[in-house]
């Protein structure tokens, strides 16, 4: 009598592999989908860092963040007080209109917001849901990371 050699995979083994691949895909796909959003938000983060540096320079000269034009919702370029030109803030996804004061700055505190929903940049539709803020300590807050 000849011995029969088992070769190949059983149905159970194949089903286990399919389940493992399905679980990995269910975890990996949502994680991958956030990556493009993070890269777009980094444009805003970079510009907010530039604004923060301008605010630091303003504070060093005036010993306060208060100024008549630094009002809630005012553009960071208003009146040219911070020496930031609108062109400095124009990017692929975010435009100058996005960068505003979030609340009126006090003597020692401020918050600046970049709201993608008001962007007029070429690819503005891709960042409508992105909002990034920065404060005087450099703490960056976004809903993405």
CA dist., res. 75 & res. 115, Å (int): 11
Report angle CA 18, 20, 14 to the nearest 5 degrees: 35
User: How much of the chain exceeds pLDDT 90, in percent?
Assistant: 73
At 75-106, the pLDDT tens digits run 999 888 999 999 999 999 999 999 999 999 99
pTM metric for this prediction: 0.77
Transcribe 47-86 into DSSP letters.
HHHHHHHHHHHHHHHHSSS--TT--TT-BTTGGGTT---H
Mean pLDDT, the chain, whole residue set: 90
């Amino acid at each position: 009598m000849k011995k029969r050699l088992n070769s190949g995979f059983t149905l159970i083994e194949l089903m286990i592999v399919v389940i493992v691949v399905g679980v990995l895909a269910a975890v990996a796909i949502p994680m991958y989908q956030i990556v493009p959003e993070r890269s777009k938000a980094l444009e805003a983060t970079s510009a907010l860092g530039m604004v923060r540096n301008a605010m630091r320079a303003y504070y060093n000269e005036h010993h306060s963040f208060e100024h008549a034009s630094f009002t809630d919702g005012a553009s960071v370029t208003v009146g040219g007080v911070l020496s930031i030109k609108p062109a400095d803030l124009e990017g692929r996804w975010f435009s100058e209109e996005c960068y505003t004061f979030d609340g009126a700055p006090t003597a020692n505190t401020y918050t600046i917001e970049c709201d993608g929903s008001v962007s007029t940049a070429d690819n503005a539709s891709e960042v409508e849901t992105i909002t990034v803020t920065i404060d005087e300590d450099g703490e960056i807050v976004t809903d993405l990371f």
